[in-house]
């Protein structure tokens, strides 16, 4: 009986933590022109897989930078993501390849138009509100050669 209770409790904790937003990732300061971004960095496979899932809010100057081992076509969807987001696919030199808008809790795929190593997610409309388009460059430690 005690073993069954312990197993049930462990499964409950695992299920609860699986639906918790990740908030303790490392951070990096980026800039897009005069605009500053405080980005959490998701570089491990499990961090990238979870991304911004289950998060109910995010400050306007914050985002999440996904870092992959090598450039390739990157595709994202919004299953279990509660916030509408804008996504920028970014080349090694910081050039934004393409930007897309993503609706929450959908399986619609949003892909880079060329191989990229970096993907930056911000609140929906962030890039448009700042006048940032494909071809603009992000600056910060990941993009320094």
Q: Which helix (H) or strand (E) holds 27?
A: strand 27-32
* DSSP state letter for 140: S
Residue with tokens 């961090």: 47
**pLDDT at residue 8, rounded to an integer:** 37
**For residue 73, what are the contacts with CB-CB under 8 A and spacing of at least 6?**
111, 112, 114, 115, 116
Over residues 18-53, the pLDDT tens digits come to 577 787 899 999 999 999 999 999 999 999 999 999
Over residues 90-111, the pLDDT tens digits come to 999 999 999 999 999 999 999 9
Structural domains of the chain, ranges and CATH numbers in brackets: 2-143 (2.60.120.1140)
């Amino acid at each position: 009986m005690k073993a069954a209770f312990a197993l049930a409790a462990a499964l409950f904790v695992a299920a609860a933590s699986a639906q918790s937003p990740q908030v303790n990732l490392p951070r990096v300061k980026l800039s897009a022109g005069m605009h500053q971004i405080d980005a959490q960095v998701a570089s491990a496979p499990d961090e990238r897989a979870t991304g911004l899932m289950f998060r109910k809010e995010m400050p306007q100057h914050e985002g999440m930078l996904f870092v992959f081992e090598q450039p390739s076509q990157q595709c994202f969807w919004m299953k279990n993501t509660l916030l509408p987001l804008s996504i920028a696919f970014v080349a090694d030199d910081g050039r934004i390849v393409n930007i897309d808008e993503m609706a929450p809790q959908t399986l619609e795929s949003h892909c880079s138009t060329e191989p990229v190593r970096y993907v930056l997610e911000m609140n929906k409309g962030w890039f448009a509100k700042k006048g940032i388009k494909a071809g603009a460059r992000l600056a910060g430690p990941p993009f320094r050669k």
